[in-house]
Amino acid sequence: MPLPLWHNSAWMKAARREPTDVTPVWLMRQAGRYQPEYRAIREKVGFLKLCKTPSLGAEIMLRAVEQLGVDAAIVFSDLLLILEPMGLQLEFDEGAGPVIRNPIRAAADVDRLEELDRLDQLDYVMETVRLTRAGLDESLPLLGFAGAPFTLASYAIEGGASRDHRRTKCFMLDEPAAFDALMGRLARAVARYLAGQLAAGAQAVQLFDSWAGCLAPDDYRRAVLPHTQAAIRAIGSDAPVVHFATGNPALLPLMAAAGGDVIGVDWRIDLDDAWRTIGHDRAIQGNLDPAVLLSSPDEIRRRVHDILDRAQSRPGHIFNLGHGVLPQTPVENAVALVDAVHELSRR
């Protein structure tokens, strides 16, 4: 039986560290508030409802892929949705972002977090995967994603976003057994969730550890690494896994130890230094500062050239931002970035 066209796409070959004719590129939050079409939909539909309406989620992502000319799609969703069937009450406040109304604040609270034994309550995510895959060009891969155990734990404990993660760190230090139990439960849930997205039609998955950068290396090594490693191993698939975190380049060797075929890095370290730190036996994803997309096309092109130079055409580089597209980004600048990567990297 012939292999599907996406199998030998530039993105999948780069994830396997195979030579490609061009460096593949996609953008985190490539469908989002910087697009007028997305804002028009959001004026009529709340974010949580949007995430739970597969036809709209698929439409938004497919439109973004066509508009930008990127080499991969990622399912339109949110990393906190997994917490709802586990018993946490999730809301999205237009001003404050995600809010969890019954956060975990004491050791006893961990016991009320339910195991994610079934994915029934998340079938709308699987349907978004199915619809996006059905509408996507067969030559392009689709990525599923989930929040990593620590990032999910941080949201669950803080009750939303946090600048200093004070409650999370105190819980981790003062209630180590309860924190370990929480992380274990989340790791099992993440593995099941990602495996479900792969079964629904995704070709690869990305694990977002958005808040891990707040940790000291010793704390990450002790309290986070074993659970992230367990989650990645438990996915039980040969599909590529992208392991991404932001904020602390000192964690890169530990992230690599935790696992992932591709390690995603942000702009706080040069790409060549990051790759040496991770090891050239891994692919790398990154790492343009999203703020560069607020500058001129000439500056975008110059920064793209620099990152590609640092990659040295070594097989295994997937171009991306160091975090999501900023809401203020002109759409034409995002297109200019994708075009520059394709033009300057062609071999």
Q: Which of 34, 155, 193, 220 is catalytic?
A: 155
Q: Edge-to-edge strands of the sheet including 262-264?
A: 73-74, 142-147, 204-209, 241-245, 262-264, 283-285, 317-318
* Cβ 256 vs Cβ 274: under 8 Å: no
Query: Of 29, 133, 185, 282, which one is the catalytic site residue?
Result: 29
Q: Is 33 a residue of the active site?
A: yes
Stretches where the chain sits below pLDDT 70 are: none
Do 27 and 321 meet the contact criterion of CB atoms below 8 Å apart? yes
Closest to 238 (Cα-Cα) out of 211, 261, 262, 269: 261
Q: Of residues 71, 78, 209, 266, which has the active-site annotation?
A: 78
Decide: 68 and 338 in contact? Cβ < 8 Å: yes
- Detail the DSSP E strand segments found in the chain: 73-74, 90-93, 97-100, 142-147, 204-209, 241-245, 262-264, 283-285, 317-318
Q: Which of 16, 33, 167, 222 is catalytic?
A: 33
101-148 residue pLDDT tens: 999 999 999 999 999 999 999 999 999 999 999 999 999 999 999 999
Contact 131/76 with Cβ under 8 angstroms? no
Backbone angles phi, psi at 337, to 5 degrees: -60, -50
Top-tier CATH class for 5-345? alpha beta
pTM of the full predicted structure? Answer: 0.97
pLDDT of residue 208: 98
Tokens of 92: 């999205």
Q: Is 220 a catalytic residue?
A: no
78 catalytic per annotation: yes
Is 166 catalytic? The answer is no
- Say if strands 204-209 and 317-318 run parallel, antiparallel, or are unpaired: unpaired
29 annotated active-site:
yes
Which residue of the set 42, 167, 268, 314 is catalytic?
42
